[in-house]
Amino acid sequence: MTVLERLPLVSRSGLHVLIGFAAVAMVMPLLFSGSQLFTWTTALAWVLFATATSVLFGWTGLLSFGQAAFFGMGAYTMALLYERDPEMSGFVMLVVAALVAGVVAALFALFALRTSGAEFAILTLVLAQVLWLLTYRVDWLNGEEGFHGLFGVKILGGPLTSDLQLWYYTTAVVGVCVWLLWLLSRSTAGQAMRAVRDDPWRAAALGIRVRRVQVSAFAVSAAFSAVAGALIAQGQGVVSPGMLTFAISGEILVACLIGGTSKFIGPVIGAVVLIWSQTLMSNIFHESNIFVGLLLLVIVIALPGGFVSLPGRLAGRRRRRPAKGESAPPPSGAATASDDLVEEGVR
Amino acid sequence: MSPIVVLEGVGKSYGGVPAVTDVNLEVAEGERLAIIGPNGAGKSTLFGTIAGEHRPTTGRVTFDGRDVTRHRSSSRAMAGMSRTFQVARLFPTMSVRDNLFMAALTGQRRGIKFWDMFSGHREVHERVDRAMEDSSLTELADAQASALAQGARKTLEMAMAIVQEPRILLLDEPTAGMGYEDARAATTQLKRMLDGRRDMTIILTAHDMDVIHSLAERVVLMANGQVVLEGTPREVAEHETTKALYLGHGGGAA
Ligand SMILES: Nc1ncnc2c1ncn2[C@@H]1O[C@H](COP(=O)(O)OP(=O)(O)OP(=O)(O)O)[C@@H](O)[C@H]1O
Ligand SMILES: [Mg+2]
């Protein structure tokens, strides 16, 4: 992948990302089948969820404790569409789910971004909790029951009928979405997000509309999180309030942290590690969540900067004295914006 | 010449404590003005009201004939105002080149767009290369901004402001925190970067008289948030008031 990346045409269009996903799509079924392939399918949906979360948390430096709101919103949107019209194409449902979440997120962010740092994080948490409550209070959201039978969603004319078909479908959708996000990361808008994270005052002083960049990042992050949620709903066949819980919001941040957000591929690695450790642990231990939690804690503490910081660390150790700048830990995405900016309405 | 910036009765308090009071100032297009004064005089605060980081508590700020008192700093930047901060503000995780690219791109009033690839914009990249040559930063092009030494940070921030080709350039203490020799070198460097940009209006603050003598045509002396004196660099430097104010301040403006 890195060799391919050097070719200008490839790196500009992000072809290496698409080629990477195509390769993974073809190789995995040769190595895995049945429930293991299904775990990979789940992991890939989480790869999209983690990358989408990183747009906000890693690239733009905004901490959200409510990513589950959009993940769940995608799943519920798909379920409701399927209930209304079982003949509707699954791809159309994904697009609608993304639009719904994107618009809700943009409206929410316009209001919530008047606060900063911790307050913003709390507001996102409140949003997710409110949606979670609504699933119990609103009749047509079916409470704990949720929705069933989403296996039936039509893809290219018919429902998916095997783990293998689900695998190909999920990799294709995730591959295209991650590719779009990769292009975004290489666009001037992606660069502006990084600028806003690094120093919102400097960004504003150059003429970047800080609030607009943040709202866009929030909307994009939500839209792609919704697609991930809808993919999970399709794979598991069910949608339930569990998708809107804080556990989900927390786990996706953990995925970003263990992978590291300083490189595009970080959250991709983080999501795979998270899903596989959850699956393997639950096969071994009864109270697996505790062990998963401990494992992740150890990774986060032992590897600040996540897995993507590993090569730099190893190189630094070999040279004994790491070069300046390389040794500097990447900034944790959270809470970089100054409170003063809010007062002045810059942010 | 017509004024490009007009301040009328500008004041700014922090939680009821005034930092700047009733400042009236006109800056002509193409003029080079220095604002001096002892620590805490209100120079940086006044800069903030001009560039838009602070909304003034009283008064009016006019830029190019338009009342911009309530405009955000990003709007003012897009209208042609670029600034540096007393403590340089950079994008620490980006390379020197990318810092300059961000500045050059926004300076071109190019919108920030999702579909607009960073690697395009050949002419902007060329401007960035030229800016690095002018500011002697070419060797550091790929260094991360967080790894730069103090002097290079200041130089990069000035290069970022200048590459935007603003109509007015605001420099807050371009040599602050530098030793004597570094400050001399930085002043020479700055003069070179401003070569052939006679039409660019410049307002700078400084304690360093050397910077003032080599860059400014007019000097405004501030104390306790107010303008107390105005004149040519020589007039102000030799005035009783200036000497009195700077006595006991370690002779910062000898
Ligand atoms: N954010 C702030 N909150 C409260 N008070 C402030 C703030 N910024 C500045 N002040 C106060 O306002 C006054 C003017 O400060 P300012 O930084 O504008 O002075 P200055 O002339 O730039 O000084 P220096 O030469 O040290 O840079 C000082 O008394 C300072 O303590
Ligand atoms: Mg100051």
The CATH number of whichever domain residue B184 belongs to comes to 3.40.50.300
Do B26 and B37 have their domain in common?
Answer: yes
| Cα–Cα distance measured from residue A261 to residue A258, given in angstroms and rounded to the nearest whole number | 9
Region of poorest pLDDT, from A60-74, B17-31, B117-131: B117-131
Closest residue CA from atom 16 of ligand 1: B42
Are B186 and B193 in contact by the 8 Å Cβ rule? The answer is no
Do B174 and B59 have their domain in common?
Answer: yes
Q: What domain range includes position B127? A: 90-165
Do B14 and B138 have their domain in common?
Answer: no
pLDDT tens per residue across span B24-35: 999 999 999 999
Ligand nearest to the CA of B84: 2
Extents of the domains making up chain A: 3-243
B85, part of any domain: no
Q: Which helix (H) or strand (E) holds A159?
A: strand A158-159
Last residue of a domain, one of B100, B135, B165: B165
Last residue of a domain, one of B165, B187, B211: B165
Q: Do B93 and A262 touch (CB under 8 A)?
A: yes
**Any chain B CB within 8 A of the CB of A327?**
no
Do B158 and B175 have their domain in common?
Answer: no
Q: Which residue of B has its CA nearest to A208?
A: B74
B181, part of any domain: yes
Where does the pLDDT of residue A239 fall: very low under 50, low under 70, confident under 90, or very high at 90 and above? very high
Query: Between the CA of residue B216 and those of A280, A343, B43, B204, B220, what are the distances in Å?
Result: 70, 34, 16, 8, 10
Amino acid at A186: R
Give the nearest ligand 1 atom to A340 CA: 1
0.85 surpassed by complex ipTM: yes
Q: What is the pLDDT of residue A3?
A: 60
Question: What is the whole-number distance in angstroms between the Cα of residue A70 and the centre of ligand 1?
Answer: 43
| Cα–Cα distance measured from residue A86 to residue A71, given in angstroms and rounded to the nearest whole number | 21
3-state secondary structure string, chain B?
A: CCEEEEEEEEEEEECCEEEEEEEEEEEECCCEEEEECCCCCCHHHHHHHHHCCCCCCEEEEEECCEECCCCCHHHHHHCCEEECCCCCCCCCCCEHHHHHHHHHHHHCCCCCCCCCECCCCHHHHHHHHHHHHHCCCHHHCCCEHHHCCHHHHHHHHHHHHHHCCCCEEEEECCCCCCCHHHHHHHHHHHHHHCCCCCCCEEEEECCCHHHHHHHCCEEEEEECCEEEEEECHHHHHHCHHHHHHHCCCCCCCC
| Cα–Cα distance measured from residue B44 to residue A305, given in angstroms and rounded to the nearest whole number | 36
Ramachandran region, residue A14 (left: φ > 0; alpha: ψ -120 to 50; beta: rest): left
**3-state SS class at A332:** coil
Do B154 and B175 have their domain in common?
Answer: no
Do B174 and B236 have their domain in common?
Answer: yes
- The answer, yes or no, to whether residue A321 has pLDDT greater than 60, is no
The predicted model gives B156-175 an average pLDDT of 94
| Cα–Cα distance measured from residue A57 to residue A110, given in angstroms and rounded to the nearest whole number | 17
| Cα–Cα distance measured from residue A201 to residue A115, given in angstroms and rounded to the nearest whole number | 16
Q: Do B119 and A186 touch (CB under 8 A)?
A: yes
pLDDT tens per residue across span A140-199: 998 888 898 888 888 888 888 899 999 999 999 999 999 999 999 999 999 999 999 999
Where does the pLDDT of residue A7 fall: very low under 50, low under 70, confident under 90, or very high at 90 and above? low
> Chain B partners of A199 at a C-beta cutoff of 8 Å?
89-92
- CB within 8 Å of A106: residues ≥ 6 apart: A215, A216, A218, A219
The predicted model gives A323-343 an average pLDDT of 35
> Chain B partners of A323 at a C-beta cutoff of 8 Å?
147
Instruction: Rank B70-74, B115-119, B181-185, B245-249 by mean pLDDT and report only the highest.
Output: B70-74
| Cα–Cα distance measured from residue B168 to residue B4, given in angstroms and rounded to the nearest whole number | 8
pLDDT tens per residue across span A203-215: 999 999 999 999 9
Residue B165 sits at the vertex; the CA angle it makes with B161 and B168, to the nearest 5 degrees, is 75
Do B151 and B34 have their domain in common?
Answer: no
Q: Which residue of B has its CA nearest to A190?
A: B114
Q: What is the pLDDT of residue A2?
A: 55
Q: Which helix (H) or strand (E) holds A225?
A: helix A210-236
Where does the pLDDT of residue A296 fall: very low under 50, low under 70, confident under 90, or very high at 90 and above? confident
Q: Do B102 and A192 touch (CB under 8 A)?
A: yes
- The closest of B160, B138, B152 to A325, measured between CA atoms, is B152
- The answer, yes or no, to whether residue A333 has pLDDT greater than 50, is no
> Chain A partners of B107 at a C-beta cutoff of 8 Å?
206-207
Do B69 and B177 have their domain in common?
Answer: yes
Ligand 1 site residues (CB inside 6 A) read: B 14, 19, 37, 39-45, 86
- The answer, yes or no, to whether residue B240 has pLDDT greater than 50, is yes
Do B173 and B252 have their domain in common?
Answer: yes
Query: Tokens in use for A109?
Result: 């962010």
Share of chain A above pLDDT 70, in %: 88
Do B117 and B194 have their domain in common?
Answer: no
Last residue of a domain, one of B165, B189, B208: B165
Tell me how close the Cα of B92 comes to any Cα of chain A, in angstroms: 6
DSSP annotation of A326: T
**Any chain B CB within 8 A of the CB of A337?**
no
**Number of structural domains chain B divides into:** 2
C-alpha atoms less than 13 angstroms from C-alpha of B140 in its C-beta half-sphere: 24
Do B135 and B248 have their domain in common?
Answer: no
Q: What is the pLDDT of residue A158?
A: 86
| Cα–Cα distance measured from residue A248 to residue A213, given in angstroms and rounded to the nearest whole number | 26
Instruction: Rank A218-222, A256-260, B38-42 by mean pLDDT and report only the highest.
Output: A218-222
